[in-house]
Structure 1
Amino acid sequence: MPPPPERPAGLRETKRRQTRLALITAALTLVDERGADRVTVDEISALAEVSPRTFFNYFPTKEDALVGDPLEGSTDLRQQLLAVPAGTPLLDALLTALGPAMRQIQAERALWLLRMRVISAHPQLLPLLIAAAATAEQELAAAVAERLSLPPDHPFPPVAAAVANAALRVAVMRWAADTGGARPLSDHTREAFGIVAAGLAAPVSTIEESDA
């Protein structure tokens, strides 16, 4: 009997992302309900309807599943940044490149709020979160350097990446704190990036109050 035909690469990658997202969601859901110490890999795998062996194909530990970025593998910030037309100011280019990620986060608001709640309740996860953020920031800095044709040791790309990352983090936190969800994440992000673009100039109201 001939072997079954292989799945196209796109379908395999979609299935892989679906499985990864199911494991992240299962881990966050169970830990939110019971606490990290009362949840096992076997229980996470069962809720995601995969085997524990499959779990370890995606994550080395339970903690990595809790911190795992649901966007991983679904967006390529480097390609999106390089695709923005040349001559576009960097902050505008970054906003454009971040567009698909922001739309996905907005669409998966409940999952992201769950993730943030679990991480906030379990400080032991912070080192993993910091490490993941540092890796993402380094990748963004490399993409900025490539876009601007700067050498790898130039100080501008890491500074730009750090500032953009901080602005995005503030935007996400403000978006998450908006219990009504009236303002989309994209609005919060544009607002934060606008403050950076203005050179961190103090708001007019603050200046007027200090002069009074």
Structure 2
Amino acid sequence: MKRRQTRVALITAALRLADERGADRVTVDEISAAAEVSPRTFFNYFTTKEDALVGDPLEGCAPPSIGDGPLLDAMLESLAPALDQIQQDRDLWLLRMRVIAANPQLLPLLIAAAASAEQRLAGALAQRGDLPTDHAFPQVVASVANAAVRVAVMRWAKDGDTRPLLHHVREAFAILASI
């Protein structure tokens, strides 16, 4: 638990400082001081300040394992822990989204993090279907699911929308099921 608290403190400090000054005007030393840890501790958690700003949406979640039953339902169940964590950290995610929007140089890192999560999901889909990891089916399904989750997160982040993230993801998956 202490490790997660330290990680969240570093992410929060990085995002708040970047929100106030811009990502390019914040140093690892300043982030570390704001989180009340040493720069060495910062580097135990992150390689760069940009890594702290973008984060990994599935950080701390077990690799996805997709069970039996209808595919979209099973995928939703496997993603639920990550979605719950994002929901619990809503203010932090909204801050992250604002910082990324204001600092477009962070977009490539966000895309890379999403691609990594998508590949983990494709691997779980391949395993579920007893397919090779380079088979088109798991890759296409993971890409479409990733796009659906991205749209759901954007809708969830809209001002005044108090519905939980899981509601938005279910809505997006229902659209996929209808096509």
Counterpart check, 1:53 vs 2:40: yes
Q: Separation in 1 of the partners of 2:37 and 2:85? A: 24
Aligned-pair CA distance for 1:16:
2.0
Q: Identify which of 134, 146, 167 aligns with 2:115.
A: 134
Q: Identify which of 70, 73, 87 aligns with 1:89.
A: 70
Q: 1:181 corresponds to which residue? A: 161
What SS does the aligned partner of 2:47 have? coil
Counterpart check, 1:108 vs 2:94: no
Q: Separation in 1 of the partners of 2:117 and 2:166? A: 20
Aligned-pair CA distance for 1:23:
0.8
Aligned-pair CA distance for 1:68:
1.3
The amino acid of 2:36's aligned partner reads E
Q: Deviations over 1:116-165 (max 9, x none)?
A: 00001000001111111111111110011011111222110000000000
Q: 2:132 corresponds to which residue? A: 151
Q: Identify which of 137, 152, 170 aligns with 1:190.
A: 170
What SS does the aligned partner of 2:134 have? coil
By relative contact order (CA 8 Å, sep 6+), the higher-ranking structure is 2
Can you give the 5+ residue segments of structure 2 that lack an aligned partner in the other structure? none
The runs of 4+ residues in structure 1 deviating greater than 3 Å are none
What SS does the aligned partner of 2:64 have? helix
Normalised to the residue count of structure 1, the TM-score between the two structures is 0.80
Q: Identify which of 36, 46, 64 aligns with 1:78.
A: 64
Can you give the 5+ residue segments of structure 1 that lack an aligned partner in the other structure? 1-13, 200-212
Q: 1:20 corresponds to which residue? A: 7
Q: Which has the larger radius of gyration?
A: 1
Counterpart check, 1:163 vs 2:144: yes
CA contact (8 A) 2:64 2:79 kept: no
Q: Separation in 2 of the partners of 1:198 and 1:70? A: 27
Counterpart check, 1:31 vs 2:8: no
Q: Deviations over 1:61-120 (max 9, x none)?
A: 1111111126411x11424x2xx3x2x111110111111222221221111100000001
CA contact (8 A) 2:57 2:82 kept: no
Provide the alpha-carbon RMSD of the alignment: 1.3
CA contact (8 A) 2:58 2:117 kept: no
CA contact (8 A) 1:24 1:70 kept: no
What SS does the aligned partner of 1:190 have? helix
What is the number of residues matched between the two proteins?
179
Percent identity over the alignment is 72
